[in-house]
């Protein structure tokens, strides 16, 4: 075990190396690029025993690692923004083929105009593909969760690919001390590659030809959904196991911060959860609010049970979204409202759309949005505006 100053991108690269990935393919895109640059360096220097396929596009990047993973080896790629959207078709294919693999996404907004800063439009645009999707808060979590994601995706109850999201620049290019586990620890935690099938010469297996029965085909879709549900348990188990090995456990799909006596909750995912912690501390210390924070680590599978558990008796819930489905609302808000409502939780829920296109959001901004909204609830019992575009101070 050694503590190293690492950017989020280097943490992702170290994780792929420690997971003994055998094939890497990627196409450069800001702010992901340094992940694969680092991996290329590891591979060329002989520190990492893997192949690098230097493809001509992101579509081909995911196609190449899919081919490698289908062939029976552990594979990794990374991308962001337009690159992820260009891969979108392949994301469906990998999940539908039930091939486990891991991808890091350095979350960045979408154009036009050209803009390299963070928001969650890219990753949230992949919610329907069948991939497990988690958003990290800090670089240690990037490293831990990337290693864990191999174990989770290679569990036979899951057998789906997974994404680890890290916010552009805030994590991808910011250096933090990261505890690097020893190779032996990772090897114990993550034994040899596991997958449902692989292509071998002389073994006439066919993946993806036209189905005779559409009922069977629809069942395949349902099966992906069931495996996502089953992944909830696996994510919890793996988190616990990793915690026992390294002392770092994150609580499964959700981490609740200062929740035991909280009445008013902030819900968020990604790097700005760090600012939300600060906001909650100050709202309690400086303003006397019983504030709590639900950090959503996994958006797929969506943590229905844990959200219900923490928010069942909330007086109000403010969901911060860093992306939006124009004409509807923020995706985290939509999921939260849906799953609370169908579970009979009737707390007032508000959507704050903030930080889109990379607009900076500080803990002060979060406090402002919280104070204005919660004061309204305390006065009138509900929110007057349930979807608010928030531009900060």
Distance of alpha carbon 392 from alpha carbon 386, whole angstroms:
17
Distance of alpha carbon 93 from alpha carbon 215, whole angstroms:
19
Question: Is residue 203 at the binding interface for other proteins, with CB under 8 A as the rule?
Answer: yes
Kindly tell me which residue out of 206, 260, 261, 288 binds other proteins, with binding defined by CB under 8 A.
206
Residue nearer to other proteins on the CB measure, 23 or 164 = 23
Tell me the closest approach of the beta carbon of residue 32 to other proteins, in angstroms. 18
Distance of alpha carbon 10 from alpha carbon 27, whole angstroms:
16
Tell me the closest approach of the beta carbon of residue 212 to other proteins, in angstroms. 4
Residue nearer to other proteins on the CB measure, 52 or 245 = 52
Tell me the closest approach of the beta carbon of residue 388 to other proteins, in angstroms. 40
Distance of alpha carbon 19 from alpha carbon 150, whole angstroms:
7
Distance of alpha carbon 164 from alpha carbon 18, whole angstroms:
16
Tell me the closest approach of the beta carbon of residue 174 to other proteins, in angstroms. 32
Kindly tell me which residue out of 112, 191, 208, 327 binds other proteins, with binding defined by CB under 8 A.
208
Please report, for residues 20, 77, 167, 245, the alpha-carbon distance to residue 101 in angstroms, rounded to integers and kept in the order given: 12, 9, 21, 23
Helix (H, G, I), strand (E, B) or coil at 131: coil
Please report, for residues 250, 383, 392, the alpha-carbon distance to residue 53 in angstroms, rounded to integers and kept in the order given: 34, 52, 43
Tell me the closest approach of the beta carbon of residue 200 to other proteins, in angstroms. 6
Pick the piece of the chain touching other proteins (CB under 8 A) from 19-27, 291-299, 340-348, 381-389. Answer: 19-27
Other C-beta atoms within 10 Å of 100: how many? 27
Kindly tell me which residue out of 93, 115, 258, 284 binds other proteins, with binding defined by CB under 8 A.
93
Tell me the closest approach of the beta carbon of residue 209 to other proteins, in angstroms. 4
Tell me the closest approach of the beta carbon of residue 104 to other proteins, in angstroms. 18
Kindly tell me which residue out of 73, 85, 103, 224 binds other proteins, with binding defined by CB under 8 A.
73
285-288: long-range contacts, CB 8 A cutoff, minimum separation 24: 287/367, 287/371
Binding positions for other proteins, 37-66, rule CB under 8 A: 51, 53-57, 59-61, 63-66
Kindly tell me which residue out of 28, 71, 236, 274 binds other proteins, with binding defined by CB under 8 A.
71
Binding positions for other proteins, 359-388, rule CB under 8 A: none
Instruction: Kindly write down the DSSP assignment for every residue of 70-113, as one continuous string.
Output: HTTS-EEEEE-HHHHHHHHHHHHHHHHTT---EEEEEE----SS
Residues that bind other proteins (CB under 8 A): 22-23, 25, 51, 53-57, 59-61, 63-73, 75, 89-90, 93, 198-212, 216
């Amino acid at each position: 075990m050694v503590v190293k100053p690492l950017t989020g991108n280097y943490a992702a690269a170290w994780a792929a190396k420690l997971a003994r990935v055998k094939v890497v393919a990627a196409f450069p895109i800001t702010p992901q690029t340094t992940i694969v640059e680092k991996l290329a360096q590891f591979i060329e220097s002989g520190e990492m025993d893997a192949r690098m396929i230097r493809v001509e596009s992101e579509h081909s990047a995911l196609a190449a690692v899919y081919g490698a993973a289908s062939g029976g080896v552990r594979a990794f790629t990374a991308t962001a923004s337009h690159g992820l959207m260009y891969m979108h078709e392949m994301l469906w294919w990998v999940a539908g083929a039930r091939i486990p693999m891991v991808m890091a996404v350095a979350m960045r907004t979408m154009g036009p105009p050209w803009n390299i800063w963070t928001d969650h439009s890219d990753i949230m645009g992949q919610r329907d593909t069948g991939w497990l999707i988690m958003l990290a808060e800090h670089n240690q979590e990037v490293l831990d969760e990337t290693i864990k994601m191999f174990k989770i995706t290679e569990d036979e109850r899951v057998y789906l690919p997974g994404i680890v999201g890290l916010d552009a620049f805030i994590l991808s290019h910011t250096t933090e001390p990261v505890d690097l586990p020893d190779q032996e620890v990772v090897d114990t935690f993550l034994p040899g590659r596991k997958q449902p099938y692989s292509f071998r010469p002389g073994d006439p297996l066919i993946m993806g030809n036209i189905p005779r029965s559409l009922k069977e085909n629809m069942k395949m879709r349902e099966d992906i959904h069931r495996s996502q549900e089953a992944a909830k348990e696996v994510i919890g188990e793996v988190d616990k196991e990793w915690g026992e090995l390294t002392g770092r456990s994150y609580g499964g799909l959700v981490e609740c911060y200062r929740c035991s006596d909280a009445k008013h909750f902030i819900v968020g995912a990604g790097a700005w959860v760090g600012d939300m912690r600060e906001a909650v501390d100050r709202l309690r210390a400086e303003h006397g609010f019983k504030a709590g924070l639900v950090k959503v680590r996994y958006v797929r599978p969506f943590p229905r049970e844990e959200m219900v558990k923490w928010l069942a008796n909330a007086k109000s819930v403010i969901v911060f979204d860093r992306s939006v489905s124009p004409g509807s609302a923020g995706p985290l808000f939509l999921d939260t409202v849906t799953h609370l409502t169908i579970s009979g939780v009737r707390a007032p829920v508000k959507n704050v759309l903030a930080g889109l296109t990379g607009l900076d959001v500080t803990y002060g901004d979060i406090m402002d949005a919280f104070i204005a909204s919660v004061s309204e609830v305390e006065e009138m019992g509900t929110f007057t505006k349930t979807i608010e575009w928030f531009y900060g101070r």
